Chains A and B, each alone.
Chain A
Amino acid sequence: MTNVLLSAKNLSHHYGSQVGCIDINFDIYPGEVLGVVGESGSGKTTLLKNISGLLQPSSGSVKFDTRVDGLKDIYLLSEPERRLLMRTDWGIVFQNARDGLRMNVSAGANVGERLMAIGARNYGNIRNEATDWLQNVEIGLERIDHYPETFSGGMLQRLQIARNLVTKPRLVFMDEPTSGLDVSVQARLLDLIRGLVSQLGIACVIVSHDLGVMRLLSNRLIVMHQGRVVEQGLTDQVLDDPQHPYSQLLVSSILPV
């Protein structure tokens, strides 16, 4: 078995007396897609922020397999070290694409910027790579110099994905990447994420409340309820034979199409 890529141990987060998430444990291996499901307020986004370096947990540890030193607690790294990690090995796709994009620079620059952040300097190369990635996410090249402000919701989300994947990260965090998009755009985006993740062998943590999205994208599933992980296992097993009362309720609540 290959090395663990990210390991969360006894992770808890409290907002004052309010519970974010409690006692979370899991490992992520290279190339696998881990889904996190649960209703609003169950702690999914808190957990995602905790493990992606955006929010230091109240207790517990998050370790990442760094290229040089192996498994390291990300909150014990220096600020520049952690920033470098976030720019190179990680990608974060926000639910609201505006949170992950720079709205006042062009689409091409949004993609090129991540490359420059890791040291690319040749303008021609950067532009070529940005062009390739816009094509990968099915954004017309005539839009390369346009501001994201002029893009539709689905395009913004695809641009955000291009911006994140251009540096070929090893781990991408996605928070509800398809929510708020209409179904046909959602299908296109899912198809894209599915293809890119399997072609590039990127590991992914995807938070969503859409069980259909999870069945399509994730290998393993974590079910959260009131801040705790109540069940985890193979995606199809958790969805077809849920064990915990809450998972059973969740699965049986889907409206058949």
Chain B
Amino acid sequence: MEKINDDILRIDNLAKTFLLHNQGSKKLPVFQNISFQVKAGECLVLTGASGTGKSTLLRAIYANYLVQSGTINIRHENKWVDLASASPHEVLDIRKKTLGYVSQFLRVIPRISTIDLVCEPLIVQGKLIKPAKAQAKKLLNKLSIPESLWDLPPATFSGGEQQRVNIARTLIQDYPILLLDEPTASLDEKNRDAVIELINEVRNQGTAVVGIFHDKYVRERVGTEMFNVELAKKAA
């Protein structure tokens, strides 16, 4: 009973198939019967070879992809909401307050400076510009983005710099649940370690993390649980 009460995310019997109408209605089944739970303060690592559907699963949890069946129950403001059947407005509210997602690549917005891009989630929440900027600066420093770059739009940054801006943009807010898709993929050792430290910091503060980390070194340092998507698919 206690176990259930601790859960913050519950995935039950999730199935995803892509149907490509314009390619002869080809069906691409990705996964089915995926079930797991995550508690506050846990970091669940999704494992399995490339192409098994880990990113698709993560995107499905973020409601970026629609699923064919199953439920994605998430504790949002002390209520359970099923993301798989929630209205767009509910999903937007959950993404604003409860569920953060760091994609593999930063989506650059023309003309918006790095610092404004990182602050944005806080401004949307109604936080004042000054404290929001202070927080963004702290985070950018931690992630070793040189101050000379803060006022520039990140379009011309290196892959690793863009990825760190992407991480800062999500981690600036205290989301109860974080989805991370390869956040350390193109980082050097120093920055990789900084990201590991950040992830463990928010996890210790009670954030539940679901992530994909191909690097064994990272996996061993942030993961508290494992979920092998490949094996789960075979069992299904």
Shortest Cβ distance from A233 into B: residue? B88
A234 to B101, CA, bound (A): 15
Within 8 A of A (CB), among B154-179: none
- Which of under 10, 10 to 19, 20 to 34, or 35 or more describes the interface residues of A? 20 to 34
Q: In the complex, which of the residues B19, B21, B66, B110 contacts A190, with contact meaning CB atoms closer than 8 Å?
A: B110
Interface residue B109 (Cβ < 8 Å from any Cβ of A): yes
Chain B residues in 8 Å Cβ range of A128 = none
Question: When each residue 37-77 of chain B gets 1 if its CB lies under 8 Å from chain A and 0 otherwise, what string results?
Answer: 00000000000000000000001000111100000000000
A112 to B124, CA, bound (A): 30
Interface residue A149 (Cβ < 8 Å from any Cβ of B): no
15 A-B pairs besides A219-B88, A236-B64 with CB distance below 8 A are: A187-B110, A187-B111, A191-B112, A198-B124, A216-B109, A220-B88, A234-B88, A240-B64, A241-B18, A241-B65, A241-B66, A243-B66, A244-B21, A249-B21, A249-B22
Are B64 and A241 touching (Cβ within 8 A)?
yes
Chain A residues in 8 Å Cβ range of B112 = 191
A198-B124, A234-B91 known; A188-B65 Cβ under 8 A: no
User: Nearest chain B CB to A220's CB is how many angstroms away?
Assistant: 5
Q: In the complex, which of the residues A188, A215, A241, A244 contacts B111, with contact meaning CB atoms closer than 8 Å?
A: A188
Interface residue A237 (Cβ < 8 Å from any Cβ of B): yes
User: Nearest chain A CB to B101's CB is how many angstroms away?
Assistant: 10
Interface residue A252 (Cβ < 8 Å from any Cβ of B): yes
Interface residue B4 (Cβ < 8 Å from any Cβ of A): no
Chain B residues in 8 Å Cβ range of A68 = none
Interface residue A40 (Cβ < 8 Å from any Cβ of B): no
Chain B residues in 8 Å Cβ range of A245 = 21-22
* B interface with A by C-beta (< 8 Å): 18-22, 59, 63-66, 88-89, 91-92, 107, 109-112, 123-124
Are B64 and A29 touching (Cβ within 8 A)?
no
A243 to B89, CA, bound (A): 19
Query: What are 5 A-B interface contacts by the 8 Å CB criterion?
Result: A233-B66, A234-B63, A244-B21, A248-B20, A248-B22
A187 to B110, CA, bound (A): 6
Q: In the complex, which of the residues B19, B20, B65 contacts A240, with contact meaning CB atoms closer than 8 Å?
A: B65
A234 to B62, CA, bound (A): 11
Shortest Cβ distance from B90 into A: residue? A1
A243 to B17, CA, bound (A): 11
A248 to B123, CA, bound (A): 34
Shortest Cβ distance from B19 into A: residue? A243
Are B111 and A29 touching (Cβ within 8 A)?
no
User: Nearest chain B CB to A229's CB is how many angstroms away?
Assistant: 14
Chain B residues in 8 Å Cβ range of A240 = 59, 64-65
Are B21 and A248 touching (Cβ within 8 A)?
yes
Within 8 A of B (CB), among A209-257: 215-216, 219-220, 233-234, 236-237, 240-241, 243-245, 248-249, 252
A65 to B73, CA, bound (A): 33
A190-B110, A245-B21, A248-B21 known; A234-B65 Cβ under 8 A: no
Are B22 and A252 touching (Cβ within 8 A)?
yes
A215 to B112, CA, bound (A): 15
User: Nearest chain B CB to A226's CB is how many angstroms away?
Assistant: 16
Question: When each residue 47-58 of chain A gets 1 if its CB lies under 8 Å from chain B and 0 otherwise, what string results?
Answer: 000000000000
A1 to B90, CA, bound (A): 9
A85 to B165, CA, bound (A): 43
User: Nearest chain B CB to A237's CB is how many angstroms away?
Assistant: 6
Shortest Cβ distance from B120 into A: residue? A198
